Amino acid sequence: MPLPENDDVPLVKLPNLGTLQGSTTISAFSGRKILQFLSIKYGETTAGEHRFKAPRKALPWEGVRDVSRYGLPCPQLKRIAEFSAKQFTPDIEDCLTLSVYTNQLTGKKPVMFFIHGGGFYEGAGSNQTPEFLLEKDIVLVVIQYRLGPLGFLSLKTEEMPGNAGMLDIKLALEWVRDNIGHFGGDAGNVTVFGQSAGAAAVSALMYSPLIPDGYFHKVILQSGGSSAPWVWDKDPVEHTMDIAVRAGCDPHAKVGERSAMPLEEAERCLRKLDVWQLLRSFLDHKNETTVLKGSAEVGGNRLTVGDYHGFLPETPWERIKAGKIRQNIPMMAGVVKHEGTFLLTTIYDVLSRKGLLENEDYLKYQLVEMINKFLGAGDPTGAMEGFQIRSLFTPEQLASGKFNELVDGLNDLAGTILIKAPLLREAQASSRVNPEGTFLYSFDYEGEKTRFGYGADTSHYPFQGGVHHSNDLLYVFPYPPGETKLNEADTKMAKLMVDLWTSFATTGIPSSDLAGVQWKPMKDYAGPYLHIDKDQRIGTNFYEEFSVCSDEKKKAQK
């Protein structure tokens, strides 16, 4: 229930928990007042004996808890500097928090529940701020969940069950069910949305038997699907043991060798290990495995099939094939135009380290096969490779043996395997049971800002990012976080995106007066779908997005 407040210090009393004191900000375009409650605990600490285990509900507190500022993200090496003042952060594994943003504390407004991406090993709730979406009458919830080995290591035991990060998200949904009404939100109208790994998490929630009907009512998947090879840990026990060896848990084993250490000993060692040593050992495993075996062979930041608690007894794709598709859940799902440039940087760097960029024979005859295997889509017969070569490259491009000439086809290849094909599967499954409520899109708009490189230097790459992975988020959440200034064209795109996303969350049908066309539901196998660009248009065959870069280059050369 809301309590008496002044203009800048909103108070909310949560029955059976306690009182929260938030702060305020304003929306980007109209200056609407936003009440914000930042880094609210929904779960207790996951440190010590609770590391790797299922989360526990947050306990009640006495007095008024200040939630006017962001807390720390869940531990991740990329942001280690934020944890350096340890005297102020005695428990860095106490990170199960969520932030709630609302225009007013009364009423029953649609709830939008966001799950961040970052490959299941990076990201934070503070990266997504409300200034765009809270132009509309919705309540926004942005959560944090355990990342990397802290959230996803698995021995499939009670002590290290696997999918702990997904169980965190389940607990956050339960918190929303029980408490969001006190922020003016409608627990009966919750849209779960996520981008990249966050979208894969949304899919996993849809197909988990542990998630009851009624926890959410609509979904939005942005650039991610759970049948992508990067989502799954192919051998969670073996990968956990490899990380344990790298962490020094088995003094008799060498890195790269199979450890004979009992699983119980490995679990005890990893539980007591310093957080940063655990994260460094995971990153060593990830980096070395990626170079030697490919990105699909990595563990420690992936979902586990057959986890101890039964969150995912089988993959979503297996459930889809068996017809076990959740009914009456409207879906929006889509990709950005140039998804492949995100991974093309890694492929380029691997080829460079191996001295293969100038090897014309390798680029002509082995590169496509290497990329398929690297991304987890290898085919020993060569048949799939043949179809890819036929559709993505001209004979002249292949004959050149030059990486620069092959870039457009490689962009399509990587983007299709990693994002576009798995995303289309999600939409097709939804359309089978809800043809009037499934909306597919391709985000084609190239604005002033880009996430290409995610802050790293990209000047040495012989290609641009284009409409890069995550660029659609630039118009849903301000980037950098809280910095809302956009040029005129980008502002118009942000207003369009906010209209589409929030109208879908409200009614299940995306619409906007700014759209030049009506977004039609996906009633056919691969369409129709919306091209979101400066001028919107309707596409009929989403499979054309699998070869969009190479097709455009061929047209330009005619």
pLDDT, tens only, 385-440: 999 999 999 999 999 999 999 999 999 999 999 999 999 999 999 999 999 999 99
Its sign, for the CA torsion 542, 469, 231, 157, is negative
Nearest to 39 by CA among 144, 118, 140: 144
* Exposure b/e, 284-307, CB count within 10 A at least 16 = b: ebbeebbeeebbbbbbbbbbbbeb
The mean per-residue pLDDT over the stretch 334-360 comes to 95
* Dihedral over Cα of 165, 167, 170, 176: its sign: negative
Segment 361-399, tens digit of pLDDT: 999 999 999 999 999 998 899 999 999 999 999 999 999
The DSSP letter of residue 416 is I
Bridge partners (DSSP) listed for residue 36: 23, 101
CA–CA separation, 455 vs 304, rounded Å? 30
The more confidently predicted of residues 472 and 90 is 472
Q: How far is the C-alpha of 211 from the C-alpha of 146, rounded, in Å?
A: 18
Residue 557: its pLDDT value, please? 82
The answer to whether the CB of 220 falls within 8 A of the CB of 332 is yes
251 within 8 A of 277, measured Cβ to Cβ: no
Question: Mind listing the pLDDT tens digit for each residue in 266-323?
Answer: 999 999 999 999 999 999 999 999 989 999 999 999 999 999 999 999 999 999 999 9
Cα 551 → chain centroid: 28
Calculate the alpha carbon distances from 285 to 291, 364, 458 in Å: 10, 31, 25
> Is the predicted pLDDT of residue 452 greater than 70, yes or no?
yes
Query: What is the rounded distance in angstroms from the CA atom of residue 155 to the CA atom of residue 13?
Result: 40
Provide the residue type at 213 as one letter.
D
> Tokens at residue 116, please?
């961040």
pLDDT tier at 83, thresholds 50, 70, 90: confident
pLDDT tens digits, one per residue of 46-60: 999 999 999 999 999
DSSP state of 51: T
- pLDDT band of residue 82 (cuts 50, 70, 90) is confident
Kindly report the backbone phi and psi dihedral angles of residue 343, in degrees, each rounded to the nearest multiple of 5, phi listed first.
-95, -15
Question: Both tokens of residue 324?
Answer: 């076990």
Per-residue confidence at 85, pLDDT binned at 50, 70, 90?
low
How far from chain centre, in Å, is Cα 284?
22
Q: What kind of fold does domain 11-232+310-329 have according to CATH?
A: Rossmann fold (3.40.50)
Question: DSSP code of 126?
Answer: G
* 431, HSE (Cβ side, Cα atoms, 13 Å): 21
What is the Cα–Cα distance from 187 to 176, expressed in whole angstroms? 7
pLDDT > 90 fraction of the chain, expressed in percent and rounded: 93
- The structure's pTM equals 0.97
Please provide the average confidence, as pLDDT, over all residues in the chain.
95
Tell which residue, 483, 476, 470, has the closest CA to residue 510.
Answer: 476
Q: 334-557 has which fold?
A: Rossmann fold (3.40.50)
pLDDT per residue as tens digits for the range 229-238: 999 999 999 9
Residues 6+ apart with CB under 8 A from 84: none
Which one, of 170, 174, 103, lies nearest residue 133 by Cα? 103
CA 441 from chain centre, in angstroms, equals 17
Domain ranges of the chain: 11-232+310-329, 334-557
